[in-house]
Chains A and B, each alone.
Chain A
């Protein structure tokens, strides 16, 4: 027994000596590198919400072993040792750490063991945590880079606090029809609007809790279904656009090009199932699109451009050859929901001033900031490399281009319910697929560096070939089952036909009037 104790003590002593020797060696051989380490995805110098999932990453520095030390304030350091460059942060410690770091910064120290048995220590990464939390869920459509034909697609809900993703609706149950343009009323999951197209028929799914109704929004005025949409704060009106898009293809560069032959704005009234419009937002001389309600519902922001025919020149052989001349203005118009009356159109940001096409206005829920895109031309920023995000202070009317853009397309944004975060789609990673990035906006409108939606696997974005389309924040998970959505989408017999308001006496630009066929030569 005594011998056993002696041996045990000797072993412990040996172990302690070895460990201390090793530590001493590490300390002695550390080489400091005066730059931040390269990691993928780029989670450096960020502002993070307190409720985001662990930002797992891969170290791009070459090495044989890696030690990552995450230093949360007032908490024991979290040390991750790995022979592989993939760094997976334990979720529970991460959550606790973020809570302790609110209003402060935490550090991520990366040490890399080189081939020469020398440890390199990089400048620590500092990320700040703010108390403004991000909405708990993100809903997006995942789709391959499609052109004319599509295969599988689905609308998914992602929990932003962890890595759980669940499909809300997949088109595999809808005869591979197209599902798109989901929008929630005030970021709450109970009320949602969604569109279907393809073999299952054109329609708008209106979700009210578990009840789902399919509405055919086509009327004698608008021969086509509604496209872009904005929910009025009173919850009873949906401002939508009806567009006559065509797609054609380039011989070089980005293949796809989209041109809107004509468009108008409409209002869909939920209570009466009516479609209404007025000449101010459905002018035969202009193409109106991208509606966006103000926070009080008294102003409608939208984009518009002169009708397509006005861009045609005698030498034009096809309509498609004029795509690069079309530029949209940003306008606003007053609206009184109580009396259903409209004010006068006021130009907010004309293309003649910016020299660019102004698209996709999106007002923060507190009404203080307006996000919009500007591209060299056109109406489809998702496909335009020149598309960048701008932010306008609604108090001063001044706008600027925040330092969040890349040389690839940026578009499709959504504000969080507290107006402090927004998510946007960017193709910066490979120019191929849009991925969701988050930005923090402080009270002065300063926008922080964007960071990509964290994933459990560090090489997730290198492997996935899906675009994250129309990301929308949500404060709670959707309760409507996919079965209810599928039943309604497939049941065309129960589809409700929207009624055109009898007061609408307009000539329909967006469908009823003869349109130029884009492929037919003009002359």
Chain B
């Protein structure tokens, strides 16, 4: 009676602890990590299609990856994506709790049962971390729980069934099943509820199966390297930062089991396999702490144990860069600019998105030097030698600019990195539609219509295939269509200024190509080229010469001492006055660089003059790339 009462209280206690953990991790993941950014980074693909499923069936653990891909696509809806991770982590916490019950006779809930989930939570703050690792551990623990429960209740037939099912489980879940076998063998060998020879047989069976199955039977029907067979769906050190986290995660359970066993031997208490059927020894009531206090203490410890590592390992820089990518993807240009405001240093790929946002806000040639341009032209157009890391970003820029064939080229490159990412498929569909290659477009539309989250998009875009005239009705696509090059030319990725110039020459109405070309010339200090294209200003109906071009013309005039006639426009007087003031400061403080810098920072830091004369952009070799766990092999 007393035990029953205690059990109820304990359950209630457990429930609140689990709920508390779930809520705080959900809030953390949703608001801080933001699953939408996980999607942005990983771009998981999932399609309800036999052919898509088929590719997961050729290697052990593939089916779990298929399930993982299904869940990971929900990252696109942040609250749901966070809930998915929380469910997995809570499941792990629950099975860890069961693990301790079955191995050591401990029936209460300790914060220690949440430790693996906290480790995985930390791993999930890394935007490259895949859900497979967490699901793998969940699978291993659930199988272990089922095995130990049946073993402790002497349902050996179920255990034999488990051993018979071992190859199948291995095929479905991959290496976590081997880890489960390791734990199961350890569990059986150290338990004392049955005779030695039976324990020995089960342990040996577990270990022999774990050693043989990856290399025999199933292996002949699956195609996977030895390394993959032994590690698929496990978290590996190269997937985490810091790299010791997987050792902590996977060392936790065997170490926990051994410690629990030693503890029970030392204290002489009976091990408590199976958890539920435990006959508890009456515990002495502790004095001094009430149940409420203990509960509050546990909550506090759990909160601190979760929050401290979560915030220590939280990577705001990675989040910031991905956030910019994410906002740019959604064409939230104002938000991009608002988000980067106040950041003096940007990565080159973030700088490229900022410049893209400036163009789309109509401010590229007006205010671009107000924003950090420390990467020079590499912060405008991502160098193509880094294309394997940013294929979709390059595709985006060409797509905006009407370079549809080149956008398609980079979308195909992205296919090698983010295999079958729905965003790539969308891009391939749109580029084929714009190129009037409707049959190819239909292939991609059919493909994406199998994605649960993108099938509505596919339905909406069917109209472009039904009637090509609909293309003209869509303002965004119409503009791209109108900006497409009228004649063919060769893209020289290594000489982007030539590509931009060719884009402009082959479609004189391509305003974005013009502005980007001008911006490129500004950043690479090629004022002569700007002057050559000055007459294009009239074609694009600028109200006046954009600020930075005016500043460039001032430099040209100062350098060449020759008049500059721009059809329809003149340099504004105030700009000339400012330019003179700029030179006054230069001349006045020539001997005092610090003072000059101070004056420049005050009045001219956002001008092209400052960039042209004083700014030294960072070298291309300084470019650091984010770690990529995805494939992308350079030819």
Contact = CB atoms under 8 A, between A and B. Distances in A.
Interface stretch (A91-99, A125-133, A249-257, A307-315): A249-257
Interface in A490-523: 519, 521
Interface string B27-43: 00000000000000000
Given A430-B443, A432-B443, A151 B417 contact: yes
A262 interface: no
Contacts of B439: 429-432
Interface residues of A, number: 46
Contact of A198 (B58, B489, B633): B633
A249 B406 contact: yes
A496 to B, nearest CB: 23
Contacts of A145: 412, 415
B632 interface: yes
Contacts of B506: 251
A172 B224 contact: yes
B405 A486 contact: no
B302 to A, nearest CB: 41
Interface string A279-311: 000000000000000000000000000000000
A144 B415 contact: yes
Contact of B634 (A148, A252, A457): A148
Given A148-B634, A482-B223, A519-B494, 17 more contacts: A144-B416, A147-B409, A149-B387, A149-B632, A151-B416, A152-B55, A167-B58, A170-B223, A172-B228, A173-B224, A198-B633, A251-B502, A252-B405, A253-B488, A255-B406, A257-B490, A321-B490
Given A152-B419, A173-B224, A255-B405, A318 B446 contact: no
Contacts of A170: 58, 223
Interface stretch (A43-51, A101-109, A462-470): A462-470
13 contacts: A148-B635, A152-B419, A152-B631, A167-B58, A167-B223, A249-B405, A249-B493, A251-B490, A252-B405, A255-B406, A256-B409, A465-B444, A486-B225
A342 B632 CA distance: 44
Interface string A437-465: 00000000000000000000100101111
Contacts of B493: 249, 519
B197 interface: no
B495 interface: yes
B408 A255 contact: yes
Contact of B635 (A178, A321, A431): A178
Interface in B88-131: none
Contact of A249 (B409, B416, B446): B409
B388 interface: yes
A176 B223 contact: no
B475 to A, nearest CB: 23
Contacts of B495: 519, 521
B59 interface: yes
Contacts of B228: 172-173
B492 interface: yes
Q: Which of A150, A176, A429, A482 has the most CB of B within 10 A?
A: A150
B214 to A, nearest CB: 13
Contact of A147 (B412, B446, B484, B492): B412
Contacts of B631: 151-152, 176
Interface in A169-191: 170, 172-173, 176-178
Interface string A243-261: 0000111111101110000
B440 interface: yes
B391 interface: yes
Interface string B513-555: 0000000000000000000000000000000000000000000
A251 B505 CA distance: 12
Given A249-B406, A519-B495, A149 B51 contact: no
Contacts of B287: none
Nearest to A154: B223
Query: Which 7 pairs of residues, A with B, have the shortest CB-CB distance?
Result: A149-B416, A151-B416, A255-B409, A430-B439, A173-B225, A252-B488, A432-B440
Interface string B366-379: 00000000000000
B490 A250 contact: yes
Contacts of B403: 251
Interface of A: 144-152, 167, 170, 172-173, 176-178, 197-199, 247-253, 255-257, 318, 320-321, 429-432, 457, 460, 462-465, 482, 486, 519, 521
Contacts of A460: 51
A376 to B, nearest CB: 14
A144 to B, nearest CB: 6
Contacts of A521: 495
Contact of A150 (B225, B405, B633): B633
Contacts of A146: 412, 416
A380 B556 CA distance: 47
Contact of B633 (A167, A177, A249, A432): A177
Nearest to B431: A255
A172 B413 contact: no
Nearest to B437: A431
Contacts of A151: 415-417, 419, 631-633
Contacts of A247: 635
Contact of A250 (B50, B446, B491): B491
A403 to B, nearest CB: 22
Nearest to B47: A463
A451 B50 CA distance: 24
Contacts of A152: 55, 419, 631
Nearest to A250: B488
Interface in B461-503: 484-485, 487-495, 502-503
A253 to B, nearest CB: 6
B49 interface: yes
Given A170-B58, A170-B223, A320-B490, A251 B443 contact: no
A144 B411 CA distance: 12
Nearest to B439: A430
Contacts of B446: 462-463
B50 A457 contact: yes
Contacts of B635: 148-150, 178, 197-198, 247
A430 B440 contact: yes
Contacts of A150: 416, 633, 635
A172 B491 contact: no
A318 B50 CA distance: 47
